[in-house]
Amino acid sequence: MAGKEQAFKAVVNDTNPAANGRAYSIDITGSNYNHFLGKKIGDSVDGMFVGEGDQTLSGYKLQITGGSDVTGRPMRPDLDGAGIKSVLVSPGVGYKGKRYVKKNAQVYRYKYDGIRKRRNLRGNIISQDTRQINLKVVEAGKRSLPVILGLEEEAAAETPSNEEE
């Protein structure tokens, strides 16, 4: 892994009611990558560490809500540390708690009470094995997320020079 640059995929959930729960995927590389190492689920981070160049979310305050590692194993908020732990879990993060039963050539899905299963889950601290971080907006900045990421144009009143081009 020495030759490959380390990176996270940050999934930012827009909590603005007008956005209808839209999520945006942004890469985190370079010095911003190091800023996230050692942070826990529930910690708040400044938006200026998310994104590159003029696409940084400066002015935003983001909260870490979860993530997953290289293999897709989810991070669980109640497991301390950054390593993998084998845990007996009831339905929740990392286990849906459904049993599939085939009857009469059809598959039925049951949710039994008290069902538990042993799962390998990752701890709540972001490490070098983490590949995706889930973030939600706690405080919004001046510009909206789609405008910062280049998915929408800013209002014509704010940038009149765009109309002449």
| 18-35 pLDDT, tens digit each | 888 888 898 888 888 888
Query: Are 20 and 108 spatial neighbours (Cβ–Cβ below 8 Å)?
Result: no
Q: What is the signed CA dihedral for 124, 130, 134, 137, rounded to 10 degrees?
A: 90
pTM for this prediction:
0.78
* Burial class for 47, CB neighbours closer than 10 Å (0-12, 13-18, 19+): buried
Report pLDDT digits (tens) over 85-123: 999 998 888 888 888 899 999 999 888 888 889 999 999
pLDDT at 156: 41
pLDDT at 162: 44
Residue predicted with more confidence, 77 or 21:
77
Q: Across the chain, what does the average pLDDT equal?
A: 84
Q: What are phi and psi of 93, to 5 degrees?
A: -65, 120
pLDDT at 115: 86
Q: What is the signed CA dihedral for 69, 124, 11, 35, rounded to 10 degrees?
A: -100
The angle at the Cα of 76, spanning 140 to 9, to the nearest 5 degrees, equals 50
